[in-house]
Chains A and B, each alone.
Chain A
Amino acid sequence: MERVPVLKIGDMLLVSIQIDMEDQTALQLQEDLADRIVATGCHGVIIDISALDIVDSFVGRTLAGIASISRVLDAETVVVGMRPAVAITLVELGLSLPGIRTALNVELGMELLARERGADEWQLEVDGDDDTETPAVTTP
């Protein structure tokens, strides 16, 4: 079974899903993320689904599950890069993924998380200084 890698960048965890999500992969990701959030003490999770052509109801529900679990562990989840076709299909299916925050791309997702944390007294290392982060995203 394929596994989705979870990368730590600063105070965030980045998950970029590059494979077709099967039910088992989604469940495994949910477990891995919970472990990693506790192990690293991160406060933000970014899930990039820009490579996903199909998001079915199970994956949608798992994403909602991940969001709820990380909220319990004091981490905010942002789903980024949803394709137009996927969004249209989800709307037609009547799945509006309640409780999930979304952003157009990874950059905007990071800004969103930084803003959320900025509202708390926590100081982040990320200061809109994207140049140092972009290479980190691509290195496994």
Chain B
Amino acid sequence: MALTAEEAARFADLLEVNSDALVATWTDRVATTLRGRLSHAELQRQHSELRKAFQQALAGGAQTLADESAAELRAQLSDLSSTRARQGFSVTETAVSVFAFKEAVLGVLDQSGGGDALRDYVTLSAFVDEAALFTSDSYVRVREELIADQAEQLLELSTPVVKLWEGVVAVPLVGTLDSARAQVVMERLLQTLVDTGSPYAIIDITGVPAVDTQVAQHILKTVVAARLMGADCIISGIRPQIAQTIVALGIEFGDIATKASLADALRYVLGKAGQAKRLER
């Protein structure tokens, strides 16, 4: 049920005339749900801005939230939801801020009386509901952006390739390996092999909580790719439970060397490198 132009104008007047009482009731109502996590003054400031935006939208003849004249209101609402999302408020707490506006309006409507009060209230209610839905939507969008940012940061943080010895690099894998991370690890490792000219690489999986067939597949692919480029890969840091899982799942590492600890792997690699040097002489 959209607002008519006439109703919108009436509400704009109502919001203008009762502005102080409205903001006060609204702020009191929201302050109880937020339990003091935002100061009263801060809430009051936000609400008087929002009231102004509502008033302007209605005065401009906005019948739905998508209207041209409600652009300022939309900007205010998405601003509110993005700050709330970053401050860690829940989606309910954010939406309630908008819904409480209805209660405040009902308060001033009762005082002004009038036979059409109920009808007016219902139409306005639809408008406010729309605004609250819009707020929740922007809240969710901001939250998703935050999560995506964090995932990207995690991806960058968690895949260092370290030089362990002359001609030996190691990748200490920490955390769950999904396809995206495995791809990043693989590319970084192979690029480091080229850059440093190291013929040996150790993949340490001490920090990987679980190895399933998919993770094993990723590791195997990396090893085969490194072999194609002419480097030898050793897998180290296999914990007892992981060894049991690998056998239980029937994963075959073939002729790829696997060692229990990074120290064992390094000793093995140095032994192999030494053997190669002796042969050369």
The contact of A84 among B190, B198, B279, by CB within 8 Å, is B190
Q: Is the CB of A88 within 8 A of B197?
A: no
A88–B186 alpha-carbon span in the complex (Å): 8
Decide: A90 and B225 in contact? CB cutoff 8 A. yes
Q: Chain B's nearest CB lies how many Å from the CB of A110?
A: 11
Known A91-B224, A96-B224; judge A82-B280 contact (CB<8 A).
no
Query: In the complex, which residues of chain A have a beta carbon less than 8 angstroms from the beta carbon of B1?
Result: none
Which residues of B line the A interface, CB within 8 A? 186-187, 190-191, 193-194, 197-199, 221, 224-231, 276, 279-281
Residue numbers in B under 8 Å from A107 (CB-CB): 197
Shortest beta-carbon distance from A104 to chain B in Å: 5
Considering the complex, give the chain B residue whose CB is closest to the CB of A96. B224
Which of A18-26, A69-77, A111-119 contacts the other chain? A111-119
The answer to whether A97 touches B228, judged by C-beta atoms less than 8 angstroms apart, is: yes
Q: Are B280 and A115 in contact (CB under 8 A)?
A: yes
Give the number of chain A interface residues (Cβ < 8 Å).
29
Whether A109 contacts B194 in the complex (CB less than 8 A), given A88-B225, A91-B225, A115-B279, comes out as no
> Nearest Cβ in chain A — how far from B250, in angstroms?
20
Cβ contacts under 8 Å, A101 to chain B: 230
Complex A-B: 16 CB contacts under 8 Å? A84-B186, A84-B191, A84-B229, A86-B228, A87-B229, A90-B228, A91-B221, A91-B224, A91-B225, A97-B228, A102-B227, A104-B193, A108-B230, A115-B276, A118-B280, A118-B281
B186, B194, B276, B279: the one within 8 Å of A104 (CB): B194
Residues of chain A lying within 8 A (CB to CB) of residue B229: 82-84, 87, 102, 104
Assess A104 versus B228: contact at CB under 8 Å? Given A84-B187, A118-B279: no
Task: List, in ascending order, chain B residues with CB within 8 A of A87's CB.
Answer: 190, 225-226, 228-229
Residues in A whose Cβ lies below 8 Å from that of B186: 84, 88
Q: Which residues of B contact A12 (CB under 8 A)?
A: none
A41 within 8 A of B: no
